[in-house]
Structure 1
């Protein structure tokens, strides 16, 4: 596999998927880092066009990423979502009420959530997963929030190996600080308004949309891996040392430079297959699709064929992206009743976000987070959607 570092030359623009109306643009957040197919298409543009027609639609490239990389070459991945911060209460210290949706750096150590066990008093419906709860705390301990969004890859390796707790850098020297951090970018919301001619009103059709401009911190970028089909004698990316690709809207670009294998990537390879352990955890490395019903394009957090083996799931809201369908839109402003069909990109699929963690007592039969019934399954496989790292869950 050939690895490339992507360094943005300017801000990156991505149109917001949600249908905002004027005055609601502040709610736009954007989807960043971008989905794998977005970056893959940018890298694919470096190769000659295969041509048009069904005969030229080849799936001869495998893609992995994008992942964050800091100025020192360290790989950063999504923090496992089953980690929660706790601290000791000092004298005259009132227990705060943390906002569970926001990260906190006030914790002294991170502990792993565990599936709640049913007992004679507490029970759960068989149609839903039991909640994930924090382990028993000491008398003077309390939960103070979740950690930041990104974790360095070497620390994630220890997590997958079964380490149950992680202490703040000032309390331990296990890892070089900092090893957990927030988003290394800033966001600016850019609303776009198209007005009606001769009137001070917004166009009813496509009159308002929102873009999110992302500026990454100095020295930060992405790394991606790409390789050709094993049947190919020579990879077309072998000779590409450095090139400029278009990434995002408005023609903004990034420099793609061929690099060596990222730091700590090899240390993660043993976890691409299930470990020899009595209890298992599955960490979602790239966005995945969990089909909740057999033979139906309905997506959630837990796939239907895992329902008998999964014991708990720690995740966040799903990523809405992608999909093509025929929609009816008004194209004639003088005749509101006249509509014409067109194909449009809509957020039809709900992807499981990276960092999601599943707890198992025994391994499931299927070990991929991909839909079982989808015309695009081959595409999802070649772009490594739903890639899972298998770890050991401490008892």
Structure 2
């Protein structure tokens, strides 16, 4: 997809600038024409000569270095680009871009371009999580910039967490998939999609609650991919420390009852509802306003059923395409098929959480997709984002099949 494309690669000042060298090389190997712009601080890590040798193109560093009197360099470069990539994008560069600051060659060119812009952040984990940085990224998302989420791991500063520049191969993969989606408009573009994610908490007293092992990662991956496909996404999430995917509206809830009310509130306008949350089946029948004191004898807590959200949605279903998840440990396919019929679903995603790589909290999953139309598809072990992409491909085929 990048073959023959004219790419401007903006490199800002972070240790991850060395990865931009590999990114340049791989883009050129794929047939792209790459011109690099470096900030002053980027040159503290890598020299312009390195990028010139890898790209076989001039490298731009100074707004006022006008080599051709017939052209304004940053305007000419902005117009030339088919694609603009910021990698690494530091908190400083992201902040400038979000606020329209153009004080060097990179930011002036960025402000002048009408090309698609992809941003690959790289910074300390706490910097990435800072409200100002998150707000700036959200602003850029609203401007139409597309983000390539950083990876998690050991950072150069010594911290472990989210903030590591995504690998060059992954950056190119994300860009090519998005370009493919842009050139072949997604059927889901403009659809209203509601996703539930994470666990719920059912209080016993002010300091204790019942919950489960769900991390919310699968639901958040689904919401992220749906937004990337151009859908309007509402994510109704139980307690989770995960970052809100860009372009997604998140509504926080705590209990099963809270989630039930929010899902119903958004259900009528929804085109697709994907219930990936692990909602508590039971809650304490009696909750205490004061902390329960430890006793010598055993404690028995009487539990009562919570509202079956998925069943209620199935009963109220009109035009919505309703997808449920069935996390099982035994007879997974049997229980999943029963759930599909019993709750009037259009499709169910069945996964055996006892299998290695498919449980809660991990970054991978494997599952089986079964639809009301009789489709059965195995989704082999892969990242939760990849599972989400496959899920939407199947949903799109299902919906097109219904219309035909």
Under a length normalisation based on structure 2, what TM-score does the superposition of the two structures give? 0.21
Higher strand share: 1
Specify the structure having the higher radius of gyration (Cα): 2
Under a length normalisation based on structure 1, what TM-score does the superposition of the two structures give? 0.21
The higher relative CO (CA closer than 8 Å, separation ≥ 6) is in 1
